[in-house]
Amino acid sequence: MADGYEGIVTVCCSDIAGQVRGKGFPASDLEKRRRFGVGWTPTNVMINCFGRIPATPFGAEGDLMLVPASGGDIRLESGPGLPLEHIILGDILTMAGEPWECCLRSLLARALRALEEEAGLRLVASFEHEFWYERGEERPGDSYAASSLRGMEGFISEFLAALRVNDIAPDTFLPEYGPRQYEITIDPAEGLVAADQAVKLREICRSVARRHGSRASFSPVVTHGIVGNGVHIHFSLTDLAGLPVGFDDTRPGKMSEVCASFCAGILRHARALCALTAPSVISYERLKPHSWSAYYANLADRDREALLRICPYPEVEGLDVSRRFNIEYRGADAAASPHLQLAALVFAGLEGVREALPSPFISTGDPGRWSDAERAERGITDLPRSLGEALDALEGDGVIGGCLGSVLTQAYVMHKRGEIEMASKETLADLCSLYAEAY
């Protein structure tokens, strides 16, 4: 702490709107706050990305605790002579100390625990983040261009350093296809840690951008008509000893039987999952054909327009392929909480493992060239074409709804229906601007 200054610690959660919200207290009180945290209210989870509460099933009643989680700390420079910005991700608990039904971090912990107990499996994951940086240089032909990084050296250096200080290991940083669009990837981690790191990374990025007089936005679409920002979720499976179990070079796609069943579960529930992984009105401006994003619920080998992509790996002598083999889920964006996204994928995949679902059809080329009947024969369904359609699918999916629980499902659908109603009053261009500010 700098002389003469006392900072605050803010205990936060990643909520239904994909926002990081919480309450602060004097930093000197941290140790006595670790057990009971700060007071929280059920209806807080109904605040949407526009800062409104169109409806709530909870009313003004109820009390909760938002309690700091072990390993949830984010520490950021505030400025010369100022105390560090200190945020701690937390769990939302009832007053009896039990996980609250709408705590998304607790939901993910429950999903991962079920995967371990029922299938003897653990999930390793990494979130690939795309974002728009306001002060990035924009010129014709700058897609993936090295010149797109010029003038950003200070931001990039401080961003990567801040990640390392917070125990997040950066893997790559690169200019992306769109103007002022960049991508950051980090090393894979165990499921709950991976989701925590995804939340932390976005907060770190926005904070560092602000220190450099700029803004970073992870919105699915920042400018209408320009390529949007996705979140690609890479995952692999291990046994309880940490040994990889997803690779089998004797099987289709070189996926082991359990990996194939896990993927089949995701594809079976893909329409409902979209409501949770691509949960904004403008998410469906990005999920369009021939836009290097998902449009059908299909599995493909090294195809960046498949919902599930079997990722490439170096095929060189002496390489342990099993440790590099992973699957990528491409129907996601940063309007969602990483905890909810990963929990939904785990619950869907676990059902596939429980039922020993057979390996999905591995498509090649554009599924749009086939008729509806041909896609159906191959087990390939359409993804929802709007958030409303995705919510209909969620409400009609008893498995995913059952995993979320009735309280969270009701709150989530009410929250998102309210967002749709508010969005309907805006032009698409204005809506993109609003979401760009929100994310």
Name 390's Cβ contacts closer than 8 Å, sequence gap at least 6.
271, 272, 274, 275, 278, 279, 284, 384
- What is the pLDDT at residue 78? 75
Nearest to 234 by CA among 199, 188, 201: 188
Which stretches does DSSP call E strand in 176-321?
181-186, 189-190, 216-217, 231-239, 296-297, 299-301, 308-310
- Domain membership of residue 3 (yes or no) is no
19 by Cβ neighbours in 10 Å (0-12 / 13-18 / 19+) ranks as middle
CA angle, corner 109, sides to 108 and 115, nearest 5? 90
SS3 label, residue 363: strand
Residues 262 and 244 grouped into a single domain: yes
| Cα–Cα distance for residue pair 277/268, rounded to 1 Å | 15
- Domain membership of residue 158 (yes or no) is yes
Number of domains in the chain: 2
- Domain membership of residue 382 (yes or no) is yes
CATH of the domain at 55: 3.10.20.70
- Domain membership of residue 331 (yes or no) is yes
Ramachandran angles phi, psi of 237, nearest 5°:
-115, 145
Residues 168 and 196 grouped into a single domain: yes
Residues 115 and 173 grouped into a single domain: yes
- Domain membership of residue 378 (yes or no) is yes
Which of 40, 71, 100 is the endpoint of a domain? Answer: 100
Distance from CA of residue 183 to its chain's centroid? 14
Residues 92 and 120 grouped into a single domain: no
Global confidence as pTM = 0.95
Residues 382 and 331 grouped into a single domain: yes
| Cα–Cα distance for residue pair 63/66, rounded to 1 Å | 10
- Domain of 89 in residue numbering reads as 8-100
SS3 label, residue 110: helix
Residues 80 and 133 grouped into a single domain: no
| Cα–Cα distance for residue pair 159/409, rounded to 1 Å | 36
Identify the DSSP state of 244. B
Residue that the structure tokens 């950003």 belong to: 152
| Cα–Cα distance for residue pair 276/432, rounded to 1 Å | 19
Residues 238 and 174 grouped into a single domain: yes
Residues 92 and 115 grouped into a single domain: no
Residues 222 and 292 grouped into a single domain: yes
Give yes or no for a contact between 99 and 106, defined as CB atoms under 8 angstroms apart: yes
- Domain membership of residue 1 (yes or no) is no
Q: Per the structure block, which two tokens stand in for 272?
A: 């409902």
**H or E segment to which residue 108 belongs:** helix 104-119
Residues 136 and 91 grouped into a single domain: no
Q: Per the structure block, which two tokens stand in for 96?
A: 């009896």
Residues 156 and 58 grouped into a single domain: no
| Cα–Cα distance for residue pair 103/121, rounded to 1 Å | 23
76 by Cβ neighbours in 10 Å (0-12 / 13-18 / 19+) ranks as buried
Give yes or no for a contact between 247 and 255, defined as CB atoms under 8 angstroms apart: yes
Which of 72, 100, 128 is the endpoint of a domain? Answer: 100
| Cα–Cα distance for residue pair 377/374, rounded to 1 Å | 5
Residue that the structure tokens 């995701």 belong to: 266
N-terminal to C-terminal alpha carbon distance within the chain: 30
Residue that the structure tokens 């499902």 belong to: 409
CATH of the domain at 395: 3.30.590.10
Residues 219 and 306 grouped into a single domain: yes
Give yes or no for a contact between 309 and 298, defined as CB atoms under 8 angstroms apart: no
| Cα–Cα distance for residue pair 419/90, rounded to 1 Å | 25
Entry field: residues in the chain: 439
- What is the pLDDT at residue 1? 45
Which of 100, 121, 146 is the endpoint of a domain? Answer: 100
- Sequence-ordered alpha helix ranges (H) in 166-256: 191-211
- Domain membership of residue 2 (yes or no) is no
- Domain membership of residue 277 (yes or no) is yes
Q: Per the structure block, which two tokens stand in for 50?
A: 């526009």
- What is the pLDDT at residue 96? 97
Give me the tens of pLDDT residue by residue for the chain, a chain 439 residues long: 445 568 899 999 999 999 999 999 999 999 999 999 999 999 999 999 999 999 999 999 999 999 999 999 999 987 777 778 999 999 999 999 999 999 999 999 999 999 999 999 999 999 999 999 999 988 777 888 888 898 999 999 999 999 999 999 999 999 999 999 999 999 999 999 999 999 999 999 999 999 999 999 999 999 888 888 999 999 999 999 999 999 999 999 999 999 999 999 999 999 999 999 999 999 999 998 888 889 999 999 989 999 999 999 888 877 899 999 999 999 999 999 999 999 999 999 999 999 999 999 999 999 999 999 999 999 999 999 999 999 999 999 999 999 999 999 999 999 999 999 999 999 999 999 999 999 9
